[in-house]
Structure 1
Amino acid sequence: MVVVKTKKELLSELNNIDSSIALGLVPTMGALHQGHASLIKKAVSENQKVVVSIFVNPTQFNNKEDLVKYPKTLDADINLISAISKEIIVFVPEVSELYPKQVKTKIYHFDGLDKVMEGEFRDNHFNGVGTIVEALLNLIKPTRAYFGEKDYQQLRIIQKLVEIQQIPVEIIGCEIVREKHGLAMSSRNERLSKKIRQKAEFIYETLKTAKQKFGTESVLDVKEWVVKQFNDNIDFQLEYFEITDVNTLTPIIKKNTNTKQRAFIAVYAEEVRLIDNIALN
């Protein structure tokens, strides 16, 4: 396995690869877990060569404390990647490599995909995501790039980014990987106490019951039920629960059997922010 830290070293490795083979990219911010592993395994199975990037991108953190607290576990990350395949190129750049002049965010127009849910509560977050993803795609020029559905809104925005910037890459969404109690895997989970981490199955259980209710009850009734569940649970504070059209991410008022809908949730537990989502139909 090759670990490179500069764009020059990365391009040197990529130039040795036959341009006719499929190249996969898995962008990460490190602190890798089995959710990341599933993305890497899928990329390895579908491409002849794979690049995994590890870069904590400063422009997508609207909360500086979150940036400071973001876990850095490079040795463990490299061991996890190596256990999957020793043929992977791991790109671990410093901030100055990807932001050589200044740490600056590009401004995008994502047709409203960035204005709801995460976009409402995390100002400028998706411009930061778009800035780094566009830079990586243009640098590495992969055939396919892999992103998890836990960040489903991010996935849709990256699909839109590729469309508006006309970047020739296939964006692959991968299913959410969960801990045994149902909590969606996230690097943030490591900041939870053992007790709350086990109790956090409450989030996914609430989503599953909301999905059942969605089949027979109105959108408003489902949303009110979810709010009540969190009002009655002192361990978790609900930031938002939303039901949207899958493609536009527009919140819906009434169900439409001709389109697909998805439920999204953001919750605080012990000051750690957790997100999750579930397909409703």
Structure 2
Amino acid sequence: MHTVTDIATLRESLAEARRQGRRIGLVPTMGNLHDGHLALVAAARERADYVVASIFVNPLQFGAGEDIASYPRTLDEDRARLARAGCDLLFAPGHETLYPQGTTAQTTVQVPEVSEGLCGANRPGHFSGVATVVSMLFNLFQPDLACFGSKDFQQLAVIRKLVADLHFPVEVVGVPIVRAEDGLALSSRNGYLSAEQRARAPRLYATLCQVRDALERGTAREEALRQGLARLAEDGFKPDYLELRRYDDLAAVSDDTRMAVLLGAAHLGPARLIDNLAVTLPH
């Protein structure tokens, strides 16, 4: 696997791959890789014959008081894991490479509606930061496809709308959530949890499963969600939200909605955990 840190070398490497007629699959990450990230690489490997990844802790998607300074950076280990997974090229730029003038006056991208509410309400500016850096990476890599995890369901919806609205010729591949044996969705931020908190963390997923089952049995939406929030609080979480949205566009559900998604976010100690489950609502 070849590692590059500057844009000129990146473009030269990608141009050579295109001359060879290779289909390019991109996996954007912030590093500190786990098996969920490697599932993205595997998905790209299945669909493309030149797999490229990026590692960049993007300052634009961190708000005031968030964890950018302490966000884990494990480049050497990440590089080794990507190489073993079959990645062909890693782009690992510094902040000054992507934001040479700093971030204060940086041109940004806004994705309306789908970025509002849920994590967008709790993390102002987060999805603008995501949309901006993803647009930048799409411009730099010009991939045929890009793989994103479904754990960040709202982020995936934002990127799908970004691609549609700005006519990026990129296939967006949503890859299913990878979970630990106890059900906890894999996340770099799980490393912030103490042993006791890590043992309690799977209750977020268990609660989502219970609420999903209640909804699919016909329990009223408001009551099922109220019970879920109460259960999270009893288990020591500080919920940000527990909401049911339409699956395809994250709009509000209505009486004729059948495919929905249940989304939850909650703080447990120093970690903010998110998860989601598809729900088939009864007729």
Normalising TM by the smaller chain, what interval?
Answer: over 0.9
**TM-score, normalised on structure 1?**
0.95
- The count of residues paired between Structure 1 and Structure 2 equals 277
TM-aligned CA deviation for residue 45 of structure 1: 1.8
Partner of residue 8, structure 1: 8
Distance in 2 (alpha carbons) for counterparts of 1:109 and 1:31: 27
Shift of 1:221: 1.1
Measure how far apart 1:107 and its partner are.
Answer: 4.4
Determine the structure 2 residue equivalent to 1:135.
136
| Matched residue type, 2:93 | P
CA drift of 1:255 comes to 4.3
Per-residue deviation, 1:79: 1.1
Structure 1 counterpart of 2:48: 47
Conservation of the 8 A alpha-carbon contact between 1:34 and 1:185: yes
Are 1:260 and 2:259 matched, yes or no? yes
Pick closer, same or farther for the CA change 1:191–1:201 going to 2, 3 Å: same
How far 1:63 moved relative to its partner?
Answer: 3.4
- AA aligned opposite 2:50: K
Q: For 1:40-96, what per-residue CA distance to the aligned partner results, in whole angstroms no more than 9, with x for missing partners?
A: 0111121110110000000000134411111000111011111112x5100000111
Query: Scaled by the length of structure 2, what TM-score is found?
Result: 0.94
Measure, in 2, the Cα distance between the counterparts of 1:195 and 1:136: 38
User: 1:105 offset after TM fit, Å?
Assistant: 4.9
SS across alignment from 1:173: strand
Alignment of 1:238-257 (within 5 A): 238-252=239-253, 254-257=254-257
Per-residue CA distance 1:82-138 (angstroms, 9 max, x = gap): 1112x5100000111111222145444434101110111100111100100000001
- Match of 1:44, as an amino acid? R
Residue type of the alignment partner of 1:195? E
Displacement of 1:260 in angstroms is 1.4
Structure 1 CA distance for aligned equivalents of residues 60 and 110 of structure 2: 17
Q: Which amino acid aligns with 2:233?
A: N
- Structure 2 residue matching 1:146: 3-state secondary structure: strand
Give the aligned CA root-mean-square deviation in angstroms.
1.4
- Map 1:29-178; keep pairs closer than 5 Å: 29-85=30-86, 88-103=88-103, 104-178=105-179
Q: One-letter code of the match for 2:204?
A: I
SS of 1:207's equivalent? helix
Residue 274 of structure 1: aligned partner: 273
Distance in 1 (alpha carbons) for counterparts of 2:107 and 2:129: 7
1:212-233 Cα deviation digits (max 9, x unpaired): 0001201111111112212322
Within 2, Cα distance between the matches of 1:236 and 1:206? 11
- Aligned residue for 1:189, secondary structure, equals helix
- Would the aligned equivalents of 1:59 and 1:105 in 2 still touch at CA under 8 Å? no
Any gaps of 5 or more consecutive residues in structure 2?
none
Q: Which sections of structure 1, spanning at least 5 residues, go unmatched?
A: none
Q: Distance in 2 between matches of 1:177 and 1:28?
A: 15
Describe how 1:150-229 pairs up with structure 2 within 5 A: 150-215=151-216, 216-229=218-231
Asked if the contact 2:111/2:131 (under 8 Å) is kept, the reply is: no
Contact 2:261 2:277 in 1 (8 A): yes
Q: Contact 2:149–2:174 (CA<8 Å) still a contact in 1?
A: yes
Letter in 1 for 2:15: N
Closer, same or farther: CA 109–67 of 1 in aligned 2, 3 Å: closer
SS of the residue corresponding to residue 96 of structure 2 reads helix
Between the aligned residues of both structures, percent identity stands at: 35
Taking the aligned partners of 1:110 and 1:139, their CA distance within structure 2 comes to 20
**Separation in structure 2 between the aligned mates of residue 241 and residue 66 of structure 1, nearest angstrom:** 23
* 8 Å contact from structure 2 (residues 110, 131) kept in 1: no
Query: What is residue 232 of structure 2 aligned with on the other side?
Result: 230
